[in-house]
Amino acid sequence: PLPEPFRVPLPVPPVARPVGVDGAGAQVYRVTQRVADAEILPGVRTPILGYDGIFPGPTFDTRRGQPVVVRHRNELPVPTVVHLHGGHTPAEHDGWPLDLVLPVGDTSGWSHHGMVGDLAAGEREHRYPNDQRAATLWYHDHRMDFTGPAVYRGLAGFHIVRDDVEDALPLPRGERELPLMICDRAFAADGSFAYPGLDQGMRSLPGVEDDWMEGVLGDVVLVNGAPWPVHEVDAARYRLRLLNASNARRYRLALTVPGGPDVPFVQIGSDGGLLAAPVGHEAIEIAPGERFDVVVDFSVLPPGTQVTMVNGLDGGPAGRVMRFRVVRTARDDSRVPDRLAEVEPLTPPAGAPQRTFRFSRGKVGDHKGWTINGTSFDANTSLADVGLGETEVWRFVTDVHHPVHVHLDPFQVLRRGGEGPSDYDVGWKDTVDVRPAEVVEVAVRFSDHAGRFVFHCHNLEHEDMAMMATIRTV
Ligand code: C2O
Ligand code: CU
């Protein structure tokens, strides 16, 4: 039976502590990826794959310009790859899907469709320059063919970048700033995560197959790893860093109050950090991989009010997300200023290179799968060689819904369905939800770091079924 909603307190993932500073001045962290037991449903034991054995993993709370080194040790029974989503990261540290970290003590041959990357025995160090705007990033597993099952079992966490521009704004902070990782999961009778992979050991290919090609959904919504949690709040403004970390589920989030109008969201940031100016929304539509940074004002509500975050896209159990309980009046000096941060508009010059990428159903070898421009992922063939510093226009064309994510640098939405960008497209994006049979045009510019990167659909089953492509920055 599913647990009663709004009983479990909202957990906030612990902040990772650096173990030291290296010769180049970077803060050094260590993470051990290991199997652990978690109590997600009350009284039930769920085995997870966790960064430091927890789900979500520890939060990296970092500053712009302060480089960070994370040394990951893989004590799991399967290879892993860590990607910092939204990170402006050199190629060799980005988490190329074939750059496996092999389990400690396991040197058996791991190959993926005959493609081999840079294999590391047991440990790998990722260096993140953090030379980017303040933003809510997240890190998660990115192993070729197995990203879906690995993330589903727990390999995901927050990486927050802060900067002086953001610090100078009177936004809610401290206990009134909450990262919220939203994802859906299904549970088997024994309490384990029910991921419909063919090989539960995540060794033999494919990681997920035909029946699940639309994506894996669950009936329990977790926020920060807890089912439909509840959080007590002051009657004050709160900043919520919303992340959709689901494999395939999209949400239309709204804040309902019994007998009253919905509480609006004031969006202050997107995937790539602060907006130029706040944007009000009655609801937030969020696809896998996307982040919305919002401020919610509970100060207008009397103590005792229950505010329920619902998902308007589902009529069943996944139609509920979490609840806030306003418990006390309190002093609040925060506000949302009319001007937030500089957002340089990315305007493609006349004659800028144009590329079209078609996301559609297709064949991966003998199996069904997903393709970009008719081809499945190939590590050795670049679909786009892009000059560093050049602004290009990329056109994403879809058959069904595909949240398209580009590594290395954020982009800006120019047009959607022949019109201007929607209210949800503002600011710097690194993941854009392209709706069925739609065309979304974005301006991309890779500023530096020459090398090989990927872009892909962030529906993780689509990604594992080869809807990913290689790009090269030159
Ligand atoms: Cu969030 Cu390429 O991934
Ligand atoms: Cu897709």
For residue 239 and ligand 1, the question of a CB distance below 6 A is answered with no
For residue 289 and ligand 1, the question of a CB distance below 6 A is answered with yes
What is the model's pLDDT at position 328?
Answer: 97
For residue 88 and ligand 1, the question of a CB distance below 6 A is answered with no
For residue 83 and ligand 1, the question of a CB distance below 6 A is answered with yes
Q: Which atom of ligand 1 is nearest to the CA of 140?
A: 1
What distance in angstroms lies between residue 169's CA and the mean position of ligand 2's atoms? 37
- The answer to whether 126 touches 93, Cβ cutoff 8 Å, is yes
Q: What 8-state DSSP symbol labels residue 419?
A: B
Distance CA 113, CA 118 (A): 15
The ligand placed nearest to the CA atom of residue 147 is: 1
Q: Which residue puts its alpha carbon closest to atom 3 of ligand 1?
A: 85
Q: Which atom of ligand 1 is nearest to the CA of 85?
A: 1
For residue 445 and ligand 1, the question of a CB distance below 6 A is answered with no
Q: Which atom of ligand 1 is nearest to the CA of 95?
A: 2
Q: Which atom of ligand 1 is nearest to the CA of 97?
A: 2
What distance in angstroms lies between residue 459's CA and the mean position of ligand 2's atoms? 5
Distance CA 114, CA 128 (A): 29
What distance in angstroms lies between residue 101's CA and the mean position of ligand 1's atoms? 17
Q: Which atom of ligand 1 is nearest to the CA of 86?
A: 1
The ligand placed nearest to the CA atom of residue 214 is: 2
Tell which phi-psi region holds residue 203, choosing left (phi > 0), alpha (psi between -120 and 50) or beta: alpha
For the stretch 159-206, pLDDT in tens is 999 999 999 999 999 999 999 999 999 999 999 999 998 888 888 877
First to last CA, the chain: 54
For residue 407 and ligand 1, the question of a CB distance below 6 A is answered with yes
Q: Which atom of ligand 1 is nearest to the CA of 431?
A: 1
Sequence-ordered list of residues with C-beta below 8 angstroms from that of 469, at least 6 positions apart, any chain: 357, 372, 373, 375, 377, 378, 383, 384, 454, 455, 456
What distance in angstroms lies between residue 142's CA and the mean position of ligand 1's atoms? 7
For each successive 10 residues of the chain (474 residues), what is the average pLDDT?
94 98 96 98 97 98 98 97 98 96 85 78 97 98 96 98 98 98 97 90 78 94 98 98 98 96 98 98 98 97 97 97 98 98 97 97 86 94 97 98 98 97 97 97 97 98 95 98
What distance in angstroms lies between residue 399's CA and the mean position of ligand 2's atoms? 9
Distance CA 382, CA 473 (A): 10
What distance in angstroms lies between residue 405's CA and the mean position of ligand 1's atoms? 7
What distance in angstroms lies between residue 123's CA and the mean position of ligand 1's atoms? 21
Q: What 8-state DSSP symbol labels residue 463?
A: H
For residue 229 and ligand 1, the question of a CB distance below 6 A is answered with no
Strand partners, 291: 243
What is the model's pLDDT at position 470?
Answer: 97
Distance CA 273, CA 78 (A): 34
Virtual torsion, Cα 78, 84, 86, 90, nearest 10 deg: -110
Distance CA 454, CA 462 (A): 14
User: By three-state DSSP, how is residue 458 classified?
Assistant: coil
Q: Enumerate domains of the chain plus CATH numbers.
A: 20-164 (2.60.40.420), 174-329 (2.60.40.420), 354-473 (2.60.40.420)
- The answer to whether 451 touches 470, Cβ cutoff 8 Å, is no
The ligand placed nearest to the CA atom of residue 408 is: 1
For the stretch 266-288, pLDDT in tens is 999 999 999 999 999 999 999 99
Q: Which atom of ligand 1 is nearest to the CA of 138?
A: 1
Q: What is the 3-state secondary structure (H, E, C) of 369-396?
A: EEEECCECCCCCCEEEEECCCCEEEEEE
What distance in angstroms lies between residue 121's CA and the mean position of ligand 2's atoms? 32
Tell which phi-psi region holds residue 378, choosing left (phi > 0), alpha (psi between -120 and 50) or beta: beta
For residue 429 and ligand 1, the question of a CB distance below 6 A is answered with no
CB atoms within 10 A of CB 379: 19
The ligand placed nearest to the CA atom of residue 250 is: 2
DSSP letters for 179-209: EEEEEEE-B-TTSSB----S-TTS-SSPSS-
Q: Which helix (H) or strand (E) is 460 found in, with range?
A: helix 460-464
Distance CA 384, CA 103 (A): 33
For residue 140 and ligand 1, the question of a CB distance below 6 A is answered with yes
Q: How far is CA 256 from CA 224, 241, 355, 454, in A?
A: 20, 19, 42, 39
What distance in angstroms lies between residue 449's CA and the mean position of ligand 1's atoms? 18
